[in-house]
Chains A and B, each alone.
Chain A
Amino acid sequence: MQPHELSTPSATTPQTEFLRGVRDELPLLVGVLPFGLIYGVLAIEAGIPPAAAQAMSAIVFAGSSQFLMAQLVAVGTPALVIALAAGIVNLRHALYSASMAPYLRRLSTPWKWLLAYLLTDEAYAVTIVHFSAASSAAHGDNPRHRHFYLLGAGLALWSAWQLSTAAGVFLGRQVPASWSLDFTLALTFIGLVVPTLHDRAAVAAALSAGLMALVTFSLPLKLGLVLSSLTGIALGMMLERR
C-alpha cells in the first residue's frame, strides 16, 4: 500500500482525503471483521449482557483490551483490576498519540478530541504512513485537509468494529464451547506480538514477562500481570542500553 503515489497534491480536498483514508483502511478490515465477531461471541460467553458487550465496542473501542476484559469478567476479576489491566494493554495508544501529535497540532480542540477517539491500531497504521509520506513529499500537498484522512480511516474501522461486534453478540448464544473460540484470544496476541520481536531486547522482554506471569499467576487481583509486564519492560530497557 503506497497512499502517497495516489495523491495529486494540488487536488487534495477534504473529500478526497477522507475517501483516500477509507480506501486505504479497507484491506485491514478483512482482518478486523472476524476479530469483532469473535469478540462479540466471547463477551456473551463471558456472561456480559448484549447491550454492554456492544457498548464496550463503542466506548473502549480497542480490540485486544476488549478480549482481555471479557476474559477477566468471565473469571470474576475485581472491576478496578479489569479497568487497570485494560489501561495497561492500551498504553501503546499513548505512543500513537505522541507520534500523531505533530501532525494534528494546528487543529481545533473538538477535532483533536474526535480524532483521538478514532486513534486505533489499524487507523494509526495507515495514517502515519500517509502523513509521513505527505510531509516528506512536501510542497503541493495541502496540510489543512490532512486530518480528513485519519477521519476516513478511523470511521471505516469504527463502522466495521461496531457491525462485526453486533454480529458476534447475535451469534454468541449459538456457538458451542467445544469450538474453543476463547483460544482465539491467545492466538490474536501471538499474531500481534511475534512480529514485534525484532531484536534481543524485545525477545527478552517477552520471555521474561511470560515466565514471570506463570510464576506469579496465583497472586490476588491479577497483580501478576502488572508485575510481569514491569519486569519485561525493565529487562528490555536494560538490554537495549548496552
Chain B
Amino acid sequence: MTIWLIILAAGLITYAMRLSFIQIFERQQIPPSVLRALRFVPPAVLSAIIFPELVLQSGKMDFSPGNYRLLAGLLAALVAWRTKNVLLTILFGMAVIWLLQALG
C-alpha cells in the first residue's frame, strides 16, 4: 500500500532532521546563514498552507464576507496574537465557524 510507503518515507525524513545535528554534524559548527534561514521556515511554510485553506473555496479565490473560513481564520489570528495559545485559537475559530454556519 502506498500509504505505508508515504509514512515510512516521511518518518525517515523527519527522523533525519531530528538526528542531524545531534549525531551527524556533532563536531561541526552550524553555518550562521543556515540558522538564519531556519528561522523563517515555520512562518513561510505554515502561511503557504494557511492562505489557500482560508481563501480558496472550490478552487477559486473568495475574499467576500460569505467566505466563513476566511472570516473565522482572521478572527482566530487575532486570538492567537493576543493569547499565544494554540488550543484557544482552535477552540475560538471552531466556535466562530459553527456560529456562522448556524446563522447562515
| Chain A residues within CB distance 8 Å of chain B | 30-31, 34, 48-49, 52, 55-56, 59-62, 64-65, 68-69, 73, 79-80, 82-84, 86-98, 100-101, 104-105, 109, 112-113, 115-117, 119, 178-180, 183-197, 201-203, 205-214, 217-218, 224-225, 228-233, 236-237, 240
Which residues of chain B have C-beta atoms less than 8 A from A186's C-beta?
Answer: 49-50, 53-54, 69, 73, 93
Q: Is A191 a contact partner of B40 (Cβ separation < 8 A)?
A: no
A65 to B36, CA, bound (A): 22
Which residues of chain A have C-beta atoms less than 8 A from B10's C-beta?
Answer: 56, 59-60, 65, 69, 82-83, 86-87
CB distance from A50 to the nearest CB of B (A): 11
Q: Which 10 pairs show the lowest CB-CB distances between chains A and B? A: A232-B44, A191-B89, A210-B51, A191-B86, A236-B40, A59-B11, A83-B9, A194-B80, A87-B13, A228-B48
Q: Is A180 a contact partner of B17 (Cβ separation < 8 A)?
A: no
Q: Is the interface of A mostly helix, strand, loop or mixed?
A: helix
Which residues of chain B (30-89) have a CB below 8 Å from chain A? 30, 33, 35-56, 59, 61, 69, 72-73, 76-77, 80-81, 84-89
Q: Is A196 a contact partner of B42 (Cβ separation < 8 A)?
A: yes
CB distance from A68 to the nearest CB of B (A): 6
> Which residue of the partner chain B has the closest CB to A197?
B43
Q: Besides the contacts A55-B4, A96-B18, what 8 more A-B pairs have beta carbons closer than 8 Å?
A: A61-B14, A83-B10, A87-B14, A88-B45, A101-B25, A191-B89, A213-B49, A228-B44
Number of B residues with CB within 8 Å of any CB on chain A: 68
Q: Is B44 a contact partner of A195 (Cβ separation < 8 A)?
A: no
